[in-house]
Amino acid sequence: MSARFYDHAVPDPIYAHPRLALAYDTFDGPRDDLAAYLAIADELAARRIVDLGCGTGCLALLLAPDRQVIAVDPARASLDVARAKPGADQVTWIEGDASAIPAGAQADLIVMTGNAAQAVLTDHDWTAMLRHVRRSLALGGCFTFETRRPERRAWEEWAVDTAPVTADVPGLGPVEQRRELTTVDLPLVSFRYTYRLLNDNTTLTSDSTLRFRDEDELTTSLEAEGLGIREIREAPDRPGREFVVLAQRRSI
């Protein structure tokens, strides 16, 4: 997910508008990226997990059968979609940002998948989020997230990939999606999704901004908040395109 994620900002309509939240899973397609996070949870033997920026709950629901899972997101419409899915009663759903993680969570693992980490735009909000993450982890617990490599310049691909895509969305019927790159002002990149609901010819738009952080910035900012780098991996489904960061809570 890529809502403007922190400091109680209003989430992007793609997550917060009830009709667009219904369409999100359809256009997001198969979540091949989630297998890596299930493997990390197994590798760390994590039993208490927080899915931060959980969106429509795809990962939280995969984790939940054998673990205690808290799923947090600022977009109520996305949480409503998540709560309606099979198995949702096995997850604790919380509307909010990182500050909403329950005190004393003592998580073994906190995860941020998709674009969630890049949607924290300012240094102030990034630092504040990391502090909330650290206090929510058990000592030795891990924070893992993915973020695009700036050197791959993904926005250049977005600039030319503007062809509309139409899909049949349960509850909405046929919907046309179009993406447009709007601003590149590094480290920030902004884009707009336009949706046309063909059954009633309604048009809805959603503007988003992502921040691209390089490896040095990630390492420095995490270690400054007591989250030492355990490992930086490739995203198995997108080699060379993304970092998958594992940071571990250490004593300060």
pLDDT, one tens digit per residue, over 166-218 is 999 999 999 999 999 999 999 999 999 999 999 999 999 999 999 999 999 99
pLDDT tens digits for range 33-73 = 999 999 999 999 999 999 999 999 999 999 999 899 999 99
For the entire predicted model, the pTM comes to 0.94
Cα torsion 54, 55, 57, 62 to 10°: value is -60
Strands, E, within the chain: which ranges?
48-52, 68-73, 91-95, 107-112, 137-148, 165-169, 173-185, 188-197, 202-211, 227-234, 242-249
Q: How far lies 217's CA from each of 26, 122, 157, 187, 242, in Å? A: 34, 13, 24, 11, 15
**252 pLDDT exceeds 70?**
no
**237 pLDDT exceeds 90?**
no
- Report d(CA 231, CA 228) in Å as an integer: 9
Amino acid 78: pLDDT = 98
Confidence at 9, pLDDT banded by 50, 70, 90: low
Q: Other C-beta atoms within 10 Å of 8: how many? A: 10
Burial of 157 per CB tally in 10 Å (0-12, 13-18, 19+):
exposed
Amino acid 113: pLDDT = 95
